Structure 1
Amino acid sequence: MKKISVHEAVGHVLCHDITQIIPGKIKDRAFKKGHVVREEDIPVLLSLGKDNLYVWENKEGYLHEDDAAQRLSKMSAGAGIDFSEVKEGKINFIAKYDGLLKIDTNMLYEVNKLEEIMLATRHNNTPVKKGDKLAGTRVIPLVIDEKKIIEAESIAKNTFIEVVPYKKLKVGVVTTGNEVYYGRIEDKFGPVIKEKIESYGSEVIEQRIVNDDSDVIAKNIEELMDKGADMIVCTGGMSVDPDDTTPTGIKKVGGEIISYGAPVLPGAMFLISYKGDTPILGLPGCVMYAKTTVFDLVLPRVLIGERIKKEDLAAYGHGGLCLECDVCTYPACSFGKGW
Structure 2
Amino acid sequence: MKKVAVQDAVGMILCHDITKVIPGEFKGAAFKRNHVICQEDVEELLSLGKEHIYVWEENAGEIHEDDAAVRMAQAVMGENIRYTEPQEGKTTLISTEKGLLRIKSSLLYEINSIEHVTIPSLPSNFKVEVDQKIAAARIVPLVTKEENIRKVEELCILHGPVFSVQPYKKLKVGIVITGSEVFKGRIKDKFGPVIRKKVDYFGAEIIGQEYCPDELELIQGKIYEFMDKKADLIIMTGGMSVDPDDLTPGAIRGTGAEVITYGVPVQPGNMFMLAYLRGVPILGVPGAAAYYKTTVLDAVLPKIFTCETLSKNDFIRMGEGGLCSNCQMCQYPNCYFCR
TM-score scaled by length of structure 1: 0.96
Counterpart pick for 2:329 among 321, 324, 327: 327
The offset of 1:329, in angstroms, is 0.8
The code of the aligned residue for 2:208 comes to: E
Q: Which residue of 1 aligns with 2:119?
A: 119
Q: Which residue of 2 aligns with 1:316?
A: 318
Secondary structure at the aligned position of 2:221 is classed as helix
Secondary structure at the aligned position of 2:119 is classed as strand
Native 8 Å contact 1:256 1:274 kept in 2: yes
Q: Which residue of 2 aligns with 1:273?
A: 275
The offset of 1:60, in angstroms, is 4.5
Ranges in structure 1 where 5+ consecutive residues have no aligned partner: none
The code of the aligned residue for 1:276 comes to: R
Q: Which residue of 2 aligns with 1:33?
A: 33
Q: Deviations over 1:305-335 (max 9, x none)?
A: 1111111111111111110011111111111
Which runs of structure 2 are paired with 1:137-286 in the superposition (5 Å)?
137-156=137-156, 157=158, 158-286=160-288
Give the Cα–Cα distance (whole angstroms) in 2 for the partners of residues 135 and 59 of structure 1: 31
Q: Deviations over 1:217-243 (max 9, x none)?
A: 111111112113110000011111111
Q: Deviations over 1:133-187 (max 9, x none)?
A: 1111111111111111222233333102111111111100111112212222111
The offset of 1:207, in angstroms, is 0.7
Q: Deviations over 1:260-301 (max 9, x none)?
A: 111110011111111122111110110111000000000011
The code of the aligned residue for 1:294 comes to: V
Q: Deviations over 1:67-89 (max 9, x none)?
A: 11111111111111121220111
The code of the aligned residue for 1:135 comes to: A
Give the Cα–Cα distance (whole angstroms) in 1 for the partners of residues 261 and 154 of structure 2: 38
Give the Cα–Cα distance (whole angstroms) in 2 for the partners of residues 154 and 84 of structure 1: 22
51-60 or 287-296, larger mean C-alpha shift = 51-60
39-48 or 91-100, larger mean C-alpha shift = 39-48
Give the Cα–Cα distance (whole angstroms) in 1 for the partners of residues 87 and 276 of structure 2: 47
The code of the aligned residue for 2:152 comes to: A
287-296 or 17-26, larger mean C-alpha shift = 17-26
Native 8 Å contact 1:172 1:232 kept in 2: yes
Secondary structure at the aligned position of 1:328 is classed as coil
Native 8 Å contact 2:241 2:271 kept in 1: yes
Native 8 Å contact 2:92 2:133 kept in 1: yes
Give the Cα–Cα distance (whole angstroms) in 2 for the partners of residues 309 and 316 of structure 1: 12
1:21 has 2:21 as partner: yes
Give the Cα–Cα distance (whole angstroms) in 2 for the partners of residues 85 and 39 of structure 1: 29
Ranges in structure 2 where 5+ consecutive residues have no aligned partner: none
The code of the aligned residue for 1:28 comes to: G
The offset of 1:259, in angstroms, is 0.9
Native 8 Å contact 2:240 2:248 kept in 1: yes
Provide the alpha-carbon RMSD of the alignment: 1.3
The code of the aligned residue for 1:136 comes to: A
Native 8 Å contact 1:63 1:145 kept in 2: yes
55-64 or 130-139, larger mean C-alpha shift = 55-64
Native 8 Å contact 2:70 2:85 kept in 1: no
Q: Which residue of 2 aligns with 1:80?
A: 80
Give the Cα–Cα distance (whole angstroms) in 2 for the partners of residues 33 and 237 of structure 1: 64
Give the Cα–Cα distance (whole angstroms) in 2 for the partners of residues 148 and 21 of structure 1: 30
Q: Deviations over 1:180-210 (max 9, x none)?
A: 1222211110000000100121132211111
Which runs of structure 2 are paired with 1:98-109 in the superposition (5 Å)?
98-109=98-109
Q: Which residue of 2 aligns with 1:47?
A: 47
The code of the aligned residue for 1:71 comes to: R
Native 8 Å contact 1:219 1:253 kept in 2: no
The code of the aligned residue for 1:197 comes to: V
Give the Cα–Cα distance (whole angstroms) in 1 for the partners of residues 154 and 82 of structure 2: 23
Q: Which residue of 1 aligns with 2:67?
A: 67
Native 8 Å contact 1:194 1:203 kept in 2: no
Native 8 Å contact 1:65 1:144 kept in 2: yes
The code of the aligned residue for 1:203 comes to: E
